Amino acid sequence: MSQIGSFTLLLALALSGYCFVAGLLALLREGPSSARLSETARRAGIATFAVVFLAALVLVVAAFQNDFSIAYIFHHSNRDLPAPYKFATLWSGQEGSLLFWSLLLAAYGLVLRLRYKTDPRLFAYASVIIAAVQVFFLLLLNFAAHPFAVMQGSLPADGNGLNPLLQYPEMVIHPPMLYLGYVGFTVPFAFALAALVMRYPGEKWIHITRRWTMVTWGFLTCGIFLGAHWAYSVLGWGGYWGWDPVENASLMPWLTGTAFLHSVMMQEKRGMLKTWNMWLIFSTFMLSIFGTFLTRSGVVSSVHAFAQSSIGDWFVAFLALIFAVCVFFYVKNRSHLRSEHKLESLVSRESSFLFNNLLFVVACFTVLWGTLFPVLSEWVQGNKVTVGPPFFNRVNIPVALLLLLLTSVGPLLAWRRTSIESLKRNFLWPAIGAVAVGILLLVLGMKPWKEASYFYSLMTVMLSVLVGLTVISEFVRGGRVIARHTGQNLLASMGYLAHRNTRRYGGYIVHFGVIVIMIGFAGAAFNQDKEQEMGFGDRMTIGSYTLVCQSYTQDDNPNYSSEWAVMNVWKHGKQIGTLYPERRFYKASQQTSTMPRIRSTAAEDLYLVYEGLNQDTGRPIIKAHLNPLVMWIWVGVWIMIAGTLLALVPNSVPVRVPAPVPMHAEPVGAGD
C-alpha cells in the first residue's frame, strides 16, 4: 500500500512539474507548436488531479484496512476508530493534511483547466501559476512530510488513535471547509498574477474570478465558524473563540479576502484601486500559506498546532519566492495598473470602500502583530510574552465597531457623489431606530457605565440595528420602485429586485448575517459561570435555571470509557429537560476529553461541563455556563451563507424601459 502511495506522489510531482515547465515554455514561445505544448501541459495538470486523488484514496483505504505499517496510519488511527473518523484521518495529521491541501489544489486546478475556453491565454497563465504552487506541495510531500513513510521494526498491533478532540462530527467537515477556503485563494491569486504578468486589458479577469473568490470566501467563512462551533461544543471551556494563533491564522486571510471582495467593486465599476486590489489578493494568498506555515512550523505555540517539524523552512522559502515574484512583476508592469477615474467627492461609495479596506487591513495587521509579538519579544528581550484575548479584544473591538458603522453608511452612498441631504434622508429613520433600541436597553437595565464590556455591547447592538434598518430600507425602497412599475406586491418586488442584482442584495443579506453574529458576540459581555460538586439531589442555581443532580454513572465501549452525570434542568419551578455532561477517556490515545451538553435557546445557552470526579468524595464536579445570545452567532452564519449563495446566482435580465418616462421615483439603492 505504501509503495503505491509513494509512486503516485512521485508521478503527481512529475506531472505537475511537466504542467509547469511545458506550460511556461508554451507561453514564452510563439507558433502552432506552442499551442500543442500548452495543450499537453493542460492535460498533465488534469492528470495531476487523478493521481493525487489516487494517493489520497490509498491513504484512506490504508486507514480503513488498519495498515499500521504506514507510520501516518499508526499515529492517527486505531482499530476501534469509527468509520467517519477513519475517513477524517486523511487530514488529521501533518502529512495527510498536506496531501489533502494538494488534492484540493489539484481539484481547483482541474476545474480551471476544464473551463479554459473562457479565455485560453489567461487560463494558461493561471494554470502555470497553480502548477507552480502544486509542485511546491508535492515536493513537500515527497521529500519532507511523506504520508506513506513506513514503520521501522516490528509491526504494531494497534495504532495510537485519533486525537479525542477530533472525534466529533463537525471535525469531519470543519477542516475540509477551511482548506477549501485556504486553497481556493490560490485561484484568484493565480488569475491576478496572470493578469499582471500578461498586462491583461480591462477588468475581465475580475469578472472571471469573482465567483471563485466568493465561493472560496464562503468556504473559509464556513470553516472558521464550524471551527468556532466545534470549539464551543467540544473543548468545554464555554467559549468559541480564544484568539489562538491557529484561529488567527484562519482569520487573517478572511479579513483581507473580505476587504478584496469590497474593493474589487471599485475596480470593476470605476477602474480604481487596481494596485491595491492586486496586492490585496497577493496578501490573501500569502496569508493562507503563512497560516499553513504557522500551524506546522512550531514558531508559535498553539493548542491546534501539528507537531513541530522542519517543514517551516520550506514555507519560509516558498513565501519569500512568492513575494519576490509578485514584487518583480508589479515593478515591471505597474504602469498597467493606473486608475482610470478620479474621486469626485468624499461622501461617496468610493471613499466608504477606502475606509472599509483600511479597517479590514488594520484588523488583519493587529491579528498578525499580536500573533507574532511573542516571537518578536523573545528575539528583542530574550523572553516570551503572552498575547491573549485581553489584547485582541481591546484593540479589535473598536475597529469592529467602526466597520459596523461603515456597513450602515456604505450602502446609502452612491458611486461618485452623494448629497448630504440624500444621506440625511436615508439615514434618519435607521438612526432613530438604533437610538430607540439603545434607550430601550438602558430602560431594561443595561448599565454601560458599569463595565467597558457592557458599553461595547450596547454600541454593538445599536450599530447592528442601524445596519439592519439600512439594509431593510434598501430592500423596501427598491422594492417600492419595482412594485410601482410592475404592479407586483412589495414582497415579490423585493424578490425580483434581489434577483435582478444578486450580488448587491446578496451582499446586503451577508451584512444582515454579520449583524446577527455581532449581536451574538455582544451577549458574551453578560456570560455567567458557576462550578460546584454535585451529589445525588444536589442543586445549583445559575441565572433563572436550577440544576438538580439526578445521578452520575460510568460507561464503557471499545473506543472509550466515560463518566457522566444526569442533570435535571428546572426553570420557574418546572422541569424543562435533562442534560448529560460527559467526560471520556480514549483508550488508544490514553487521553481524556470533555463532552459538554448544551441547552440552546435564542436568549441563552445553558452549557454544562462534567469536569471530573472529586477523588476524595467520589462526586462529580459540574461547571455551568450561562452564555446569552450564542445561538444568534450560528443563525447569523446561516444567513451569511444564504447571502453568499444568492450573490452567486446570475442576475436576471433587467426590464428595459423603451423611452424615458417622466416620474418622481425615489432613488433605488445608493440614492441620487
Partner 1 sequence: MPNLWGQGTKVNPGSGCPMSLLKRVFQIGVLMAGVLLFAGAGDDARFNDLGHRLMCACGCRQILLECNHVGCGYSDRMRAELVAAVDRGDNDDLTLQSFVQKYGPTVLAAPTKTGFDRVAWIAPYVALILGLGLVGFIVRAWRSRPLLRPAELPASVQGAELDHFREQARRETEI
Contact 570, 547 (CB under 8 A): yes
Report, in Å, the least distance between residue 391 CB and partner 1.
Answer: 4
DSSP string for residues in 236-254: -SS-S----HHHHHHHHHH
Residue 157 — φ and ψ, nearest 5°?
A: -75, -35
Paired with 554 in beta bridges are 563
Distance CA 221, CA 213 (A): 12
* CB burial string 494-506: b at 16+ within 10 A, e below: bbbbbebbbbbbb
Q: Which is nearer to partner 1, 158 or 529 (CB)?
A: 529
Report, in Å, the least distance between residue 491 CB and partner 1.
Answer: 21
* CB burial string 439-456: b at 16+ within 10 A, e below: eebeeeebebeeeebbeb
User: Which of helix, strand or coil describes residue 564?
Assistant: strand
Provide CB contacts within 8 A for 430, sequence distance 6+: 408, 465, 466, 469, 470, 473
As given in the structure block, the three cell numbers for residue 332 are 515591471
Q: Which is nearer to partner 1, 120 or 389 (CB)?
A: 389
Question: Rounded to 10 degrees, what is the CA torsion of 65, 67, 68, 70?
Answer: -140
Report, in Å, the least distance between residue 383 CB and partner 1.
Answer: 6
Report, in Å, the least distance between residue 393 CB and partner 1.
Answer: 4
Distance CA 45, CA 14 (A): 10
Report, in Å, the least distance between residue 236 CB and partner 1.
Answer: 5
Residue 298 — φ and ψ, nearest 5°?
A: 80, 10
- Give 467: exposed, middle or buried? Use CB within 10 Å, 0-12, 13-18, 19+: buried
CA 92 to chain centroid, in Å, comes to 19
Q: Which is nearer to partner 1, 212 or 456 (CB)?
A: 456
Q: Which is nearer to partner 1, 336 or 619 (CB)?
A: 619
Contact 295, 175 (CB under 8 A): no
Q: Which is nearer to partner 1, 218 or 238 (CB)?
A: 238
Q: Strand 528-533 and strand 604-613: pairing? A: unpaired
Distance CA 468, CA 437 (A): 12
Q: Which is nearer to partner 1, 92 or 371 (CB)?
A: 371
Provide CB contacts within 8 A for 313, sequence distance 6+: none
Report, in Å, the least distance between residue 469 CB and partner 1.
Answer: 20
Q: Which is nearer to partner 1, 309 or 453 (CB)?
A: 453
Q: Is the dihedral of CA 424, 427, 430, 431 positive or negative?
A: negative
Report, in Å, the least distance between residue 659 CB and partner 1.
Answer: 15
Angle between helices 245-270 and 349-381 (to 10 degrees): 150
Q: Which is nearer to partner 1, 29 or 394 (CB)?
A: 394
Distance CA 46, CA 109 (A): 7
Provide CB contacts within 8 A for 82, sequence distance 6+: 167, 559
Distance CA 314, CA 101 (A): 15
Q: Give the CA distances from residue 41 to residues 35, 48, 191, 205, in Å, rounded to whole numbers and listed in that order.
A: 10, 10, 17, 21
Q: Which is nearer to partner 1, 58 or 266 (CB)?
A: 266
Report, in Å, the least distance between residue 480 CB and partner 1.
Answer: 15
Report, in Å, the least distance between residue 446 CB and partner 1.
Answer: 13
Q: Which is nearer to partner 1, 402 or 645 (CB)?
A: 402
Report, in Å, the least distance between residue 610 CB and partner 1.
Answer: 9
Q: Which is nearer to partner 1, 358 or 648 (CB)?
A: 358
Q: Which is nearer to partner 1, 354 or 567 (CB)?
A: 354
Report, in Å, the least distance between residue 10 CB and partner 1.
Answer: 39
Report, in Å, the least distance between residue 289 CB and partner 1.
Answer: 22
Place of cell 450602502: 411
Report, in Å, the least distance between residue 244 CB and partner 1.
Answer: 7
Q: Which is nearer to partner 1, 34 or 345 (CB)?
A: 345
Report, in Å, the least distance between residue 669 CB and partner 1.
Answer: 6
Q: Which is nearer to partner 1, 73 or 542 (CB)?
A: 542
Other CB atoms within 10 Å distance of the CB of residue 30 = 9
